[in-house]
Structure 1
Amino acid sequence: MDLFNFDFDLPVTNPTWIFFLVMVIILFAPIIMGRLRIPHIIGMILAGVIVGKYGFNILERDSSFELFGKVGLYYIMFLAALEMDMDDFKKNRIKGLVFGLITFSVPMILGIWSSMQFLNYSLITSVLLASMYASHTLITYPIVSRYGLSRQRIVSVTIGGTAVTVALALAVLAVISGMYKGEDIGGWFWVQLLLKVFVLCGLIIFFMPRIARWFFRKYEDPVMQFIFVLAMVFLGGGLMELVGMEGILGAFLAGLVLNRFIPQISPLMNRIEFVGNALFIPYFLIGVGMIIDINCFLKGGVVLKVAIVMSVVATFSKWLSAWFTQKLYHYTKVERKMMFGLSNSQAAATLAAVLIGHEIIMENGERLLNDDVLNGTVVMILITCIISSIETERAAKRMIVNEITDKDSKKSESEKFLISVSNPDSIKGLIEMALVMRKPKSKEEMIALSVINDNNSSEAKEIVAKRNLDNAAMIAASADVELKTMLRYSLNISQGITHAMRENDVTDLIIGLHRKVNIMDSFYGNVADNLLKTNHRQIMILKLLMPVNTLRRIVVAVPPKSEYEVGFVKWVNQLCRVAKQLGCRVHFFACEETGEKISAVVKRQQGETFTEVSLLEYWDDLLMLTSQVNYDHLFVIVSSRKGSISYQPSFEELPMQITKYFSNNSFMMLYPDQIGEPQDVLHFSDPRRPNNSDVYGNVGRWFYRLFKKDEKNG
């Protein structure tokens, strides 16, 4: 055996070496492109050109590139829908539809005219060629995602327009291909096509959320959840292909449906983005580069002319569409650049159209789209992807600078969350609630704290506490959020938590609801009672009966005069933030004056969030809200400490009412920030029992109702 006899031929066909070389490209292309200040996506495409058969012929574009390429393409569309701000998408859906029609119509008009005028093609060929200009692929979306701009309004509008223009372009492709297959493309053809698409979309929208909600509630294993999501993506894509449309539309629709079940900041979302950006999407981009023949530039003649016309018309028509939309809706210049950058790149639908058109043989024996168009298309793909990447990168950087400037001009209080972990069953829910409640781009670390009572300390309790903290750290790390763990010994657990809050400048405390051990225990437990007496920061006592991402609505009971508390604006924003992350509505119940203040805060600071404000005439009786709170809702009761402005004597009855009417619901008791430290003063009366103020309050309310009744009768 000759140790130095290696059988090494190009292109490489061994699957092991193919995968190794692809991994090397994915690893080093961003590093090299970063040093050259070139967008990473261009690096992936250029690497595909170099190693492909039109470059150095190092790799063969085998079935693995087709498989992973299709997965990557579906992944781009799925992530685009998954990362959308659904509230903003609903708010701007008309604008997205209008942009979709504009970015379809302008390239169609210019494309048909230029193909017939400059290239002397027939009407049918010109229409198909124009539909290729009209469609576009969100190749540069990973740039937007990397800069954290996926929830910007202009991104939502562009993504919505993408779905519209791709659907219309594919419809044109279906009609033209049907003509040459001998199909009747009269009125019945359109009725059938539209009927199949509408029925399929209806089935996906109706059944997929119910399946997802059931699965996420029943199975919390992260691997199973990730596989389930992938299965739903390809189910949507496969079903869309069955009805004669491109699978990318099904993947996009699956992303829209699953959007509310996968919060933007969550372990599952982090895993989905990681796998897509690390493997599937780069594989797709390298595969796109491998079909590009740069020798077309050197051939000159007709091929060069076709490539130049196609590239110029495709780029100019997309820029013109973005310009029209900007003028129509008064967008900024940087928003127009972002819209153009996202919508200029050609790949998926363009490739589908040119390959199908190239296979169609007309009656005269010529191909509908000849070799010149095929070569011109791959050149157009390269040029549009380069322009799109550069424009998107520039626009993203400009938007980040503007965002930072706006933040500097608006002074906002930092939020630092501390989660008290003691019960291993509630840790996941508490961490997930903190993740969806905190500011999405907050750089503040979260803290997980476990306090061991010095009087009852033991080695076993220490082991359990450390295990709980490790579990909390793993959950936060899987969401790519920094979590500091603290193990503390104290003679009093509530004092240990309070001291940790003061030492770390904590602004928000989240604790789980105390489990009653005996009949003498209070509803909240001694720890929560003592924390409320000795701490003026916001405290949330939480009881969850299901995973956070499966909650369908947030119902909030707000007492009168809550707007006068110092923490009013903060908790309104935080609850709206939770609703935004979960893609659900938040329904406030308050008196007329408080409701107006809530609406003003929401409109001013959370304008995109879908909220409802209803009248809660009598705070004393929460029984009327039982019909509003379902099993899969989160019931939030905004309370306050004794002696505060919004304190109500009826707060003493809340534990009884919750136990009686809302024991089968997930709920949160929220105690907002208050000015100064609470007065830890002994009272002669038991604070857990009604005192004289309760009596005075009841008498006052009785007289109020009596006079109100007399006024109505009068």
Structure 2
Amino acid sequence: MDTFFEHLAHEFELPLANPVLVFTLILLIILVSPILLRRLNIPGIIVLILSGVLIGPHGLNLLAKNSAVDLFSTIGLLYIMFIAGLELDMNEFRANRNKSLMFGFFTFIIPLGIGLPVCYYLLDYGFNASFLTASMFATHTLVTYPIVSKLGVSKNQAVAITVGGTILTDTAVLIILAVIMGSESGGLTTDFWIRLAVSLTIFLFIIFFLIPKIAKWFFGKLQNEKHSHYIFVLFIVFAAAFLAEISGVEPIIGAFMAGLALNRLIPHSSALMNRIEFIGNALFIPFFLISVGMLVDIRVILSGPMALVVAGTLSVVALLGKWLASLCTQVLFKYSGTQRQLIFGLSSSHAAATLAVILVGYKAKILDENILNGTIILILITCIIASFATEKAAKKILKNSEEDYGNSTEPVVYDEHILIPIANTQNMEKALEFATLVKDKKSTYPISILRVVPNNQEAEKNIGKAKDKLESFTRDASASETATEVIATIDYNASNGIARTAREIMANLIILGWPRRKGFIQKLIGEKMEHVLTYTDKTLFICDFQYPLVDHGRILVMAPPFAELEKGFILWTAKISALAQELSTPIVYSCNTETRKAIEKYKQENSINAVYGFEEINSPEDFFTHTGKLKRQDLLILISARKGAISHRHGMDNLPARTEKHFHQNSKIIIYP
């Protein structure tokens, strides 16, 4: 018995050494801390940082800052930067790259300009120490980014320019760090500058040229190996981080660049994106936040007045510099006060890059212990203030956007119901992926997947088989948190079953596959469409995807004259815009002047970030005469019309057959509003 108690006491010796017990404690903190303090309206990020302070070596000493904690902390930090790059709306970023450059300039030069004289004259440090400390003020870590991501405001323009500015200012600061370290070692030679420039050039070539090609090939070859996709993404993140490190910059830059490189290949509503965010937000990122808290030593404030003076000065200068940078950005680009607060909240938290700069400077004996201790206190203060500022601003933006939806003159389709009739389960995956990407995220209805079983003696047996087969295809939709339901019905005719089910479930959008029987395609498409078009008033998408959706380089849309006057104009315009935003793909419209004005008006009123281009045509016939301009991986969308509609033309009656004839190698969609 004594041996048992001795063994038990040994297991609970502080700091805890048993890896199973350590991991259990971390998971308990991640699970319980936000729940306990939720009623106090304290952001979860602060709770996790304070938990790290409590259990860390400078608190209750439950955990030591060992290699295992450092490993998970590094993974979490790289994960934050990777998700920030992955979730960045590239259309928004491209549209506002000049704004990102200006914000990056403000958030770099203003804190640096304030911090250098304060450290040099007020705190009386040498030039290198002052310059290095001042550059630390210019850095910021996107610790509060999970807040805007969770609340669904990550696509706001203020977020886009802040994330874009982050990479610019952090890269500049980390290059300054490399230069100062080279200066201290007497290494600022021509060879140093050549080596840095060459290594960064090679690094950028690998990230933005080789990795997208490899990823595109991998996703295409292993479409059904979903678990391999996630492992591949993790490999790319850490490989990019390592490449950045050997190139002379910090690994966080590599992780962010990896997110940018894979941005187009991982749609925001995809199952893979959901898996990446879920695992990161559930485990790796909380671990990083706890590890940040473990660095904080509250006792440093008792070590003497100089520590208090340095900590207070550093914190004030850091917050003031970031607030002035966000104010200049607001004034220059005429943002709202809430957007200014959001920019300040995202950019004012100091953690990863700050620690990288200060720890390197401390170990090289450029900086003293007071700067190190003051920086740790600065990290705690800025993370707390940034968390409150970000959450308050994000909630206000979310509330304002919902009020704008409520006051909009256009009807908002929150009750959207998509029906996918499946005849061939081989095309099921692409049709379901397409529906997931274009589905209105505010709709409470699931995507309905329909299989019509012939009404014969085997009907009851076949209907059970059909349901079982369809259920196995809904896992991807479930992984992306998109609700689905499977419907199997009996009817003498597939078209009758589709039309009847669409009426029963009140579907307002039907996605049909493209039938393939050589020699009979016109007849088959015509029969099926004619029946569905005649007996339903639903918007109909007929889809033929030759390639994975993420492989398409452009979306080409042909809209006939008077398309803007049809009742379904808003719906199909919204769906095409949603698809373009998810895929970060430009849209080129072929239409007349009136339709172009209507599309531009819709884009402006709904703040659409997709890149639009226009090509004027006055007749659908003009489009078919320019087939040579199409590239193999262009997604072609043709807007048709039902008979009797104002935009209907005689040539539309055999549009599917003509499209198959001219564009058989292209992915294509025909829309009947």
- What is the TM-score of this pair, normalised by structure 1? 0.90
Q: Which residue of 2 aligns with 1:219?
A: 222
Contact 1:634–1:665 (Cα < 8 Å) also in 2: yes
Match of 1:32 among 20, 36, 39: 36
Partners of 1:471 and 1:549 in 2: how far apart?
23
- Tell me how far apart the structure 2 counterparts of residues 229 and 609 of structure 1 sit (CA, whole Å): 25
Matched, 1:335 2:316: no
Q: 2:211 aligns with which of 208, 211, 232?
A: 208
Change (3 A) 1:583 1:29: same
Q: Report the counterpart of residue 232 of structure 2 in structure 1.
A: 228
Partner of 2:500: 499
Asked if 1:61 corresponds to 2:86, the answer is no
SS of corresponding position for 1:263: coil
Other structure's SS at 1:182 match = coil
CA distance in 1, matches of 2:631, 2:457: 40
Amino acid aligned to 2:404: D
Given the alignment, which residue of 122, 138, 144 partners 1:140? 144
Match of residue 173 from structure 1: 177
CA distance in 2, matches of 1:493, 1:635: 27
What's the secondary structure of 2:260's corresponding residue? helix
Q: Secondary structure at the match of 2:525?
A: coil
CA deviation after TM superposition for structure 1 residue 393, in Å: 0.9
Which residue pairs with 1:412 in the alignment? 411
Q: CA RMSD in A?
A: 2.0
Tell me how far 1:29 sits from its aligned partner.
Answer: 1.4
Alignment-derived partner of residue 637 in structure 1: 638
State the 1:79 CA deviation. Answer: 0.7
Pairwise CA distance, 1:412: 2.4
State the 1:255 CA deviation. Answer: 0.9
Distance 1:274 1:56 in 2: 30
Q: How does 1:463-474 map to 2 (within 5 A)?
A: 463-474=464-475
1:75 maps onto 2:79 in alignment: yes
What's 1:109 paired with?
113
Contact 2:467/2:486, CA 8 A, preserved across alignment: no
CA drift of 1:628 comes to 3.0
| DSSP 3-state at the match of 2:159 | helix
Is 1:627 paired with 2:623? no
Residue deviations 1:337-393, cap 9 Å, x none? 101100011111111111111111xxxxxx311111111111111111111111111
- In the aligned structure 1, how far is the partner of 2:241 from the partner of 2:461? 51
Q: Does 1:313 align with 2:314?
A: no
- What is the Cα deviation at residue 550 of structure 1? 2.1
SS at 1:644 equivalent: coil
User: What is the CA distance between 1:517 and its match in structure 2?
Assistant: 8.0
For residues 216-365 of structure 1, what are the structure 2 equivalents within 5 Å? 216-220=219-223, 221-360=225-364
Q: Is the 8 A contact 1:599 1:613 kept in 2?
A: no
> Aligned partners of 2:435 and 2:522: how far apart in 1?
27
Q: Which structure 2 segments of 5+ residues have no match? A: none
Distance 2:659 2:502 in 1: 28
Separation in 1, partners of 2:424, 2:278: 30
Secondary structure of the structure 2 residue equivalent to 1:509: strand
Please, which moves more after superposition, 403-412 or 390-399?
A: 403-412
Question: CA offsets per residue over residues 125-145 of structure 1, 9 Å max, x none?
Answer: 110101111101000000010
- Residues 1:209 and 1:154: Cα distance change in structure 2 (over 3 Å): same
1:456–1:508 CA distance, 2 compared to 1 (3 A): farther
Q: Distance in 1 between matches of 2:571 and 2:64?
A: 57
User: Which is worse superposed, 96-105 or 463-472?
Assistant: 463-472
Cα distance in 1 between the residues matched to 2:596 and 2:320: 50
Partner Cα distance (1:230, 1:666) in 2: 30
Residue among 192, 196, 199 paired with 1:193: 196
**Structure 1 range deviating more: 545-554 or 448-457:** 448-457
2:23 aligns to what?
19
State how far apart, in whole Å, the 2-side matches of 1:233 and 1:19 are: 24
Equivalent residues of 1:261, 1:582 under 8 A apart: yes
Which residue does 1:661 correspond to in 2? 662
Hey, what's the Cα distance between the residues in 1 that align with 2:603 and 2:247?
43
* Alignment-derived partner of residue 386 in structure 1: 384
CA–CA separation in structure 2 for the residues paired with 1:655 and 1:570: 21
For 1:521 and 1:569, the matched residues in 2 are separated by 29
Whether the 8 Å contact between 2:522 and 2:654 is mirrored in structure 1 is no
- Secondary structure of 1:295's match? helix
For residues 386 and 67 of structure 1, the distance between their equivalents in structure 2, rounded to whole angstroms, comes to 24
Distance 1:622 1:455 in 2: 45
Partner of 1:398: 396
Separation of aligned partners in 2, 1:129 and 1:158 = 22
Q: Percent identity?
A: 38
Contact 1:69 1:284 in 2 (8 A): yes
Task: Say which is worse superposed, 485-494 or 89-98, in terms of deviation.
Answer: 485-494
Q: Does 1:52 align with 2:52?
A: no
Structure 1 residues 498 and 546: CA distance shift in structure 2, 3 A: same
Q: 1:158 to 1:383 in 2, by over 3 A?
A: same
Secondary structure at 1:11's aligned position in 2? coil
Distance in 2, Cα, partners of 1:579 & 1:233 = 25
Q: CA deviation at 1:184?
A: 2.2
Distance 2:522 2:570 in 1: 33
| Cα distance in 1, alignment partners of residues 422 and 605 from structure 2 | 35
Which digits, 9 at most, give the CA deviation of each residue in 1:671-694, with x for residues without a partner? 01xxxxxxxxxxxxxxxxxxxxxx
- The one-letter code of the counterpart of 1:510 is I
Distance in 2 between the 1:171 and 1:518 partners? 64
Is the contact made by 1:633 and 1:666 (CA closer than 8 Å) also made in structure 2? yes
**Separation in 1 of the partners of 2:404 and 2:661?**
48
* Aligned-partner Cα distance in 2 for 1:331–1:606: 15
Question: Equivalents in 2 of 1:213, 1:460: separation in Å?
Answer: 41
Matched with 2:439 is 438
Q: Describe the superposition over 1:636-675 as per-residue Cα deviations: whole angstroms up to 9, x where unpaired.
A: 1111112221212112332432332222221111101xxx
Of residues 130-139 and 302-311 in structure 1, the stretch that sits farther from structure 2 once superposed is 302-311
- Show the counterpart of 2:368: 370
Q: Offset at 1:188?
A: 5.7
**Using the alignment, how far apart are the partners of 1:427 and 1:307 within structure 2?**
60
Code of the aligned partner of 1:418: L
Residue range with higher mean Cα deviation, 384-393 or 437-446: 437-446
Q: Which amino acid aligns with 2:592?
A: C
**What is the SS of the residue equivalent to 2:381?**
helix
Unaligned regions of 5+ residues in structure 1, if any?
A: 361-366, 673-714
Pair 164,119 (structure 1): closer, same or farther in 2 beyond 3 Å = same
The match for 1:152 is 156
**Amino acid of the structure 2 residue aligned with 1:376:** G
For 1:655 and 1:400, locate their aligned partners in 2 and report how far apart those are by CA, in whole Å. 42
By how many angstroms is 1:486 displaced? Answer: 2.2
Counterpart residue identity of residue 434, structure 1: A
* Secondary structure, counterpart of 1:647 in structure 2: coil
- Structure of higher CA gyration radius: 1
CA deviation profile, 1:503-546 (whole Å, cap 9, x unmatched): 33221111111233884982416433310121111000111122
Deviates more, 1:476-485 or 1:599-608: 599-608
The AA in structure 2 aligned to 1:641 is R
**One-letter code aligned to 2:501:** A
**Cα distance, 1:655–1:337 mapped onto 2, change above 3 Å:** closer
